[in-house]
Amino acid sequence: MRLKIGSVILLVVPILLLAQGAHKPIVPMNPDELIKLLPGAPDGWTMTQSVANNYFIGWLCCQATREFQHPAPVDPMARDKTPPPLITRVRIMDTGYFPTFNGDFENFRVGKYPGAETLVINGMPARKFFVGPNHERLRLSVRGRFIVELETDHQPANSTQSWLQVVDFKSLGGLPDSSQSNLPKPIHIIRIDEMNPKNNVTSDLFWSGPVSGNTDH
């Protein structure tokens, strides 16, 4: 797949408020499943990281991240003949519908704020952050369950939108929800590093009593 930075036209829906219905938390996907939903490297780009892990903060959450790099074009007139590479990180988070993990989209309203912007892209609520010069972060909520995050370094303005084309939103939107709404005992905490398997780690988290969003234990 060839990626053209700045070539994507987005459909921005002009609505002022997007409310997502409450959903009982479910157990999210495992890291080895979620990482398969990440895109591969576009033509001309090199994958430099591919990791996934889950963690427990009131509920179980899972995230997977891949980082891609591309040599920066060299400006013959520039003093720096070795500019930093273009970097993009693509992250997918399965929140299991747990409200705390979806805090960025609570009371969502379209608008512009200092260092940030909220908008709707192809029907999905999105928050864009201007982290620093040539550093952007775009987060989109998919069904109130998944969060897709695109982060770019050393790339033109609005480059995060151009990377939307590498994410398979159709597959994310069509994934069935798990019927499992009770956390397992123990919880298996897993970290996967596809490029450095020696860093793979699995441990068990033992817990007792009720947790937020789940009073069945």
Average per-residue pLDDT for the chain: 86
Q: From CA 113, how far away is CA 42, in angstroms rounded? A: 32
pLDDT at 15 over 60: no
Determine the pLDDT at residue 14. 32
pLDDT at 21 over 70: no
125 belongs to a structural domain: yes
For 70, half-sphere exposure in the C-beta direction (CA atoms, 13 angstrom radius) is 18
pLDDT at 101 over 90: yes
DSSP string, 56-104: ESSSEEEEEEEEEEEPPPP-TTSS-SSPPPEEEEEEEEE-TT-GGGGGG
Q: From CA 71, how far away is CA 121, in angstroms rounded? A: 29
pLDDT band at 2 (very low <50, low <70, confident <90, very high): low
181 belongs to a structural domain: no
174 belongs to a structural domain: no
199 belongs to a structural domain: no
If one compares 85 and 74, the residue with the highest pLDDT of the two is 85
213 belongs to a structural domain: no
CATH of the domain at 93: 3.40.1000
4 belongs to a structural domain: no
Residue type, 213: G
Overall domain count for the chain: 1
- Structural domain harbouring 112: 24-38+46-70+84-166
Residues 6+ apart with CB under 8 A from 17: 108, 109, 110
136 belongs to a structural domain: yes
Rounded-to-10 torsion of CA 73, 79, 82, 83:
-60
Tokens 């969060």 sit on residue: 147
Determine the pLDDT at residue 3. 57
10 belongs to a structural domain: no
pLDDT at 148 over 50: yes
Determine the pLDDT at residue 217. 40
Rounded to 5 degrees, what are φ and ψ at 121? -120, 115
